[in-house]
Structure 1
Amino acid sequence: MAGLTIRNLSKVFGEFEALKNVSITVNSGEFLAVLGPSGCGKTTLLRMIAGFENVNAGEIDIAGQLVSQPGKEVPPNERRIGIVFQNYALWPHMTVAENIGYSLRVAKVEASEAKRRVDEALALVNLDGMGDRAPANLSGGQRQRVALARCLVAEPKLVLFDEPLANLDVHLRASMEDEFAAFHERTGTTIVYITHDQAEAMALADRIAVMDHGVLMQLDTPETIYHRPANEMVASFISQGMVMPVTVNSKEADGHCDATLLGQPIRLSCSAGDGPRQGAKVCCRAEHVRVAEPDGEGIDGYIKRVVYQGGAARIEFVPDAEKETSIQFDQPDPQPFVTGDRARIQLTGGWLIPAQSAA
């Protein structure tokens, strides 16, 4: 049984279409990240799954139960979902244990059973023995774990994360990513994780849904999203992919096509059945770029910018043949370039964006 099924979901606010015919199936026990730029519709999607917004069209099922369709909305408190917010939403006048057990108290769960479940939730998030503390006496990471435990204690069918690491310092984010991954492994709970942070999505998710302007652009594994983006939006959005015009010269064979890029021959990865065409687009990543030997073949241009990043520099290169194009690559210390230098590079590969999606 699917943990969550979204069918042809649409949402309109006045004349603004926040979601447009979105369909996603999340398998039971799967960790799905929903990723996209600001305004892409990911928060609206979360609010509709939670029952905070009514649907204009489409349906939502949670663990086989229809919870949303036009004219029928199961109240949020009856959906058996847990939500972890980015601002924790803890009551400061309650102890950690009281915060975690609040939903059980409202549901009039017997005291000994409630204590058992609170203690189990504390153990699951590695906060044993901290039940009597006030939230103000915890670190940001610990408060986030309290919020997670509060959601778990109600034994939800589905857990929604609303950009939970956005308010944490950088050094805490990595440790909390480990916590979330360990929690998912221990509990097997179905998770929908809303984020704008690509590194979080790549590190945590079984699959990623990339959205833009209310439309689902691609739903795939992190590896496929990175190496085989479905269209230009996904290609350029994920890891700052470089999208460039290319001429395809041969039909696909063994997953590759021969092409011409910036006047140079190149062999590209491509989808089955792709073939010769003008006006195609290729997605190249920084790892596809290398500095050419002074007397070797390559693409000539100049260094527009050098950004030191600690141990390496991000180099921005502009080819003579295409002044509007920027090609970025990394060079470890000690790197030889300064802004304005002439240089020659080679492109070693890339992904040919499918014809039906490239326009």
Structure 2
Amino acid sequence: MDKLTLTNLTKKYGDTVVVDQLNLSLRPGEFVSLLGPSGCGKTTTLRMIAGFVTPSAGSIDMDGKQMSSAAASLPPERRRMSMIFQSYALWPNMTVAQNVAFGLKMRKVSKDEIQRRVNQILGVVQLDHLAARYPNELSGGQQQRVSLARALVVKPEILLLDEPLSNLDANLREEMRGEIRRLHNEFGITSIYVTHDQAEAMTTSDRIAVMNKGRIEQIDDPLTLYARPKTRYVAEFIGRSNILDGRTNGASVAFNGFEISTARLNARGVIRTEEFSLRTQNIGLHANCPQGDSIILPGSIIERAFLGETWDYAFQSETSNLRLRIMSPPLHVFDVGQKVWLEINPSHIIPIQDDQHA
């Protein structure tokens, strides 16, 4: 049985539909991220799961029992869930240990058991040496660890995380997303993580639900999302892609400036689309014309930007009006205006379609 099931979940504010007939199921112990830009409905979905917002339609079931519907909604304190907020939401007048113990006291756990569990969880999040400190004496990363400890110490059946790392700097975010995954592996709690940061979602999640305008565009494991996007929105939102227009002509597909046999494309079944994804880092740039059976196109560099770990180039074909973006390693340096040859492996051109319905 699924641990959590959202069925046709909808939320309206007046005439504005924020969440639109959303369907999602989580297996026990699964870590799923809701990924999308601001305003896509991901936080509203999370707050409906938590019980802070009542659905306008649809239902939320946990272990086969209904938690929310438009007619009735179980209050948050009776849902056996913990939520971690973007703002940490720590009590400033309580020490680290007291903050972590707060939920246990509310549940009337014995003092000895509280002490044991608080000491244990502070050790797990590597904060036992800071138990007597107050929140204003901690760094942002340490405060977020306290928030994690407080959520985990009550042993929730579902853990909800709402943009928990957005207030941290880049290095701390990278450290903490690894920490969140480590804790999930250790405790195995069914978790839902809301974020607009695809790197966070990719590194922490078993599956990612990409949201757009209140709906899920695609839900898959990170590699499948990246390699086989089902919609143009997903192809452009996950990683960096060039979107190519292609027309199928029997055994080949005609693109702007070149044509490829369908057998050489990375297609599964019948091609039913005219949109194809080509990842920016899957394109080669050369100062001299390369040999081989790849697609070779002459052209020039019309823009470039150095991003530290990569160069971001814009390429203009000299044989057509094809323009592509290309990510290259930092030592592959080309000047604006320089003539170059572009190399494409046909297997890197992906039809943007749902292969299950091919």
State the TM-score, normalized to the length of structure 1.
0.90
Gaps of 5+ in 1: 252-257
Using the alignment, how far apart are the partners of 2:282 and 2:248 within structure 1?
18
TM-superposed CA distance for 1:250, in Å, is: 4.6
Instruction: Tell me the equivalent position of 2:279.
Output: 285
Structure 2 counterpart of 1:345, from 331, 342, 347: 342
From the superposition, tell whether residues 212 and 127 of structure 1 become closer, same or farther in structure 2 (CA, over 3 Å): same
Q: Which structure 2 residues correspond to residues 158-237 of structure 1 after superposition, within 5 A?
A: 158-237=158-237
Deviations 1:177-234 (Å, cap 9, x if unpaired)? 1211110111000010101111111111000000001111001110110000011111
Structure 2 counterpart of 1:305, from 303, 306, 325: 303
Instruction: Tell me the equivalent position of 1:269.
Output: 266
Contact 1:270 1:354 survives alignment (8 Å): no
In structure 1, what residue type is equivalent to 2:258? Q
Instruction: Tell me the equivalent position of 1:12.
Output: 12
Q: Which structure 2 residues correspond to residues 79-118 of structure 1 after superposition, within 5 A?
A: 79-118=79-118
In structure 2, what residue type is equivalent to 1:154? V
In structure 2, what residue type is equivalent to 1:237? F
TM-superposed CA distance for 1:120, in Å, is: 2.1
Q: Which has the higher mean CA deviation after the structures are superposed, 24-33 or 56-65?
A: 56-65
Instruction: Tell me the equivalent position of 1:294.
Output: 289
Using the alignment, how far apart are the partners of 2:332 and 2:230 within structure 1?
34
Using the alignment, how far apart are the partners of 1:242 and 1:143 within structure 2?
40
Using the alignment, how far apart are the partners of 1:326 and 1:162 within structure 2?
38
Using the alignment, how far apart are the partners of 1:333 and 1:354 within structure 2?
33
Using the alignment, how far apart are the partners of 1:299 and 1:283 within structure 2?
18
Contact 2:159 2:189 survives alignment (8 Å): yes
From the superposition, tell whether residues 322 and 73 of structure 1 become closer, same or farther in structure 2 (CA, over 3 Å): farther
From the superposition, tell whether residues 212 and 321 of structure 1 become closer, same or farther in structure 2 (CA, over 3 Å): farther
Deviations 1:49-105 (Å, cap 9, x if unpaired)? 111111111110123331101111000111111111111111111000111111222
Q: Which has the higher mean CA deviation after the structures are superposed, 258-267 or 220-229?
A: 258-267
Deviations 1:235-265 (Å, cap 9, x if unpaired)? 11110221110122456xxxxxx42322213
Using the alignment, how far apart are the partners of 1:102 and 1:73 within structure 2?
25
Instruction: Tell me the equivalent position of 1:254.
Output: none
Instruction: Tell me the equivalent position of 1:255.
Output: none
Instruction: Tell me the equivalent position of 2:27.
Output: 27
Gaps of 5+ in 2: none
Q: Secondary structure at the match of 1:344?
A: strand
Contact 2:290 2:341 survives alignment (8 Å): no
In structure 1, what residue type is equivalent to 2:336? T
TM-superposed CA distance for 1:355, in Å, is: 7.5
Instruction: Tell me the equivalent position of 2:332.
Output: 335
Contact 1:96 1:131 survives alignment (8 Å): yes
State the TM-score, normalized to the length of structure 2.
0.91
In structure 2, what residue type is equivalent to 1:294? C
Equivalent residues, number: 347
Using the alignment, how far apart are the partners of 2:68 and 2:290 within structure 1?
65
In structure 2, what residue type is equivalent to 1:167? N
Contact 2:60 2:68 survives alignment (8 Å): yes
Contact 1:318 1:326 survives alignment (8 Å): yes
From the superposition, tell whether residues 269 and 118 of structure 1 become closer, same or farther in structure 2 (CA, over 3 Å): same
From the superposition, tell whether residues 227 and 311 of structure 1 become closer, same or farther in structure 2 (CA, over 3 Å): closer
Contact 2:268 2:355 survives alignment (8 Å): no
Instruction: Tell me the equivalent position of 1:57.
Output: 57
In structure 1, what residue type is equivalent to 2:289? P
Using the alignment, how far apart are the partners of 1:99 and 1:295 within structure 2?
63
From the superposition, tell whether residues 326 and 98 of structure 1 become closer, same or farther in structure 2 (CA, over 3 Å): farther
Q: Percent identity?
A: 38
From the superposition, tell whether residues 295 and 146 of structure 1 become closer, same or farther in structure 2 (CA, over 3 Å): closer
From the superposition, tell whether residues 47 and 320 of structure 1 become closer, same or farther in structure 2 (CA, over 3 Å): farther
